Homo-oligomer: A and B are copies of this chain.
Amino acid sequence: MVENRVTSVDVARAAGVSQPTVSRAFTPGARVSPELRARVEEAARKLGYRPNTLARAMIKGQSNVIGLVVAYLDNPFYSEAIELLSRTLKEFGYHIIVFTASNDENSVDLAVEDLLAHQVDGIILASVSTTLKLTHEIRNAGIPLVLFNRGQNDPAIPAVTATNYAGGRKAADFLVGLGHRRIAHISGWQGSLTGVDRMRGFLDGLADHGLEPVACVDGRYDRATAMAVTREIFAGPERPEAVFVGNDHMAFAVLEALQHDLGLRVPEDVSVVGFDDVKMAAWRVFDLTTLRQPANEMVAAVVDMMMQLINGKPLERARVEIDSALIERGTTRKRNRE
């Protein structure tokens, strides 16, 4: 399987021009006479020539590749996001190189180390948390970094998230407004700012109504954990009337535990609210009330920031929050206070 590496020199020889002319013929906007361009193109076609992107990338110091580090690919929100990211970046001439990391520090560090060596033009970290140390390392390497669906304590790090805190508050207001009083929260992973913000907003929202959650447990963005936690919380004597779950992916698991393990009815016995509004949330088997985290708008914002950073423009704002609207569906309903 030997590659028939045809180079610009071969084409030049075949077309009877100099090698730089071949290069120019393949550079959009370079000055070449139509005549020579035609000769070059014909020779190139004949020989099956394709400019070597690697060589070009090396010289120009840019690869037109963006590194994406992602975990939790079983959460459909991220599959959607990858697809959107890939399509949107393509419009700007960029491609995505994907690193799947687990969410431990070490794994993310290794991925980033790899990325830095790969001369990517930018790095997007989605659904993984970074240490400040790592952030600074990326910054020192001079590589644009944008966090997707993760914030960091340093507000200077460019990040795009939903309005997680406000979304949490909305969930609280909504559930209280339905007449619920005994309310539980199965939170997103408390190692992520996203999980923390949603929880804080929710707790503050409850507090405004003089309430405290009857339970508040970390679901770690994991189905099995969410199910186990649900069984525990709802087994007690003072069963919650409602539960706010840190994301849809876990909410589906909570529904399963509620209905199949505990034999409870939703929404008759329990109201359930999720977060994300992934496509599946609208499937009628789930029909999940949830806070919409619009993947397309978030991706657009991420790409926008990335392009600004790559072009050396100052960022208008480092922190972009996309509004999360509450989408009311069938897993919630007004409490009958008989």
Q: Which residues of A contact B (CB under 8 A)?
A: 1-5, 48, 50-55, 57-58, 61, 63, 65, 73-74, 76, 78-80, 82-83, 86-87, 90, 95-100, 114, 116-119, 140-144, 252, 255-256, 259-260, 279, 283-286, 309-310, 312
Contacts and interface: CB of A to CB of B under 8 A. Distances in A.
Contacts of A3: 61, 141-143
A119 B76 contact: no
A255 B90 CA distance: 36
A223 to B, nearest CB: 9
Contact of A73 (B52, B74, B79, B143): B79
- For the complex of A and B, list the 5 residue pairs with the smallest distance between their C-beta atoms, beginning with the closest: A3-B142, A79-B79, A73-B83, A54-B58, A86-B100
B82 A74 contact: no
Nearest to A50: B117
Nearest to A143: B3
B97 A65 contact: yes
Contacts of A51: 117
Given A54-B63, A73-B83, 10 more contacts: A48-B140, A55-B58, A82-B98, A83-B100, A95-B98, A95-B118, A97-B97, A97-B98, A259-B284, A260-B285
